[in-house]
Amino acid sequence: MKTCLLVLVPVLTLAVATSSFAQNADPHVKAFTIQFEAAKNYVTKSAEKVSEDLYSFKPTPEVRSFGAILAHIADGNYLFCSKVKGEESPSAMMAVEKGKTTKADIQKALAESYAYCDAAIAGVPAAQLADKADFFGMEQTKLSMIGFASVHSFEHYGNLVTYMRLKNIVPPSSEPRPTPTSGESTPGN
């Protein structure tokens, strides 16, 4: 029994930790999902890290504010992932960016948009990955729309990094990594 538990606990831990990746077994989707999860993590941590008063920060008047960039990412998530699902977007074009201004509202909308994408990515059958999706008159595939979602989040994470650096805030991707405590292995050990 003890041996069974020793084997089962790490397996269950790995299964839970990779559940968002494992929901769709297609290797192409898995590759895009890893990128999407990284972008989602950095964007979400940025949204959490920056104080409410900086959500209205714009380095110049011509660009989006920090909060507007996050809201724009949410709008994009709905657009790209609705194409993956083969349905109309549940959010009108630019609805989050035009309608949400507080940190709490933007964070909620961002989390909901990422959850929508998680479900879309996990639910697309491998046989439908090459299905066509119209994207502003360009013929794309459902798989390429998953890629667009990742690229879009990373593109605007770059904007967020610049805004944070201008305010002397270390962006999530540049934060020091925790050092292992004694007894934990480190990469290469």
pTM of this structure: 0.81
Q: Which amino acid is at 36?
A: F
Rg (alpha carbons) of the chain, rounded to whole number: 19
User: Do 129 and 25 touch, CB atoms closer than 8 A?
Assistant: no
pLDDT (tens digit, 9 = 90+) per residue, 60-114?
999 999 999 999 999 999 999 999 999 999 988 899 999 999 999 999 999 999 9
The residue among 47, 45, 66, 38 whose CA lies nearest residue 149 is 38
Class of domain 23-170: mainly alpha
Say if residue 70 is exposed, middle or buried (CB neighbours under 10 Å; 0-12, 13-18, 19+).
Answer: buried
- Cα–Cα distance measured from residue 90 to residue 75, given in angstroms and rounded to the nearest whole number: 10
Q: Which sequence spans correspond to the domains of the chain? A: 23-170
pLDDT (tens digit, 9 = 90+) per residue, 103-134?
999 999 999 999 999 999 999 888 899 999 98
The residue among 86, 91, 62 whose CA lies nearest residue 74 is 91
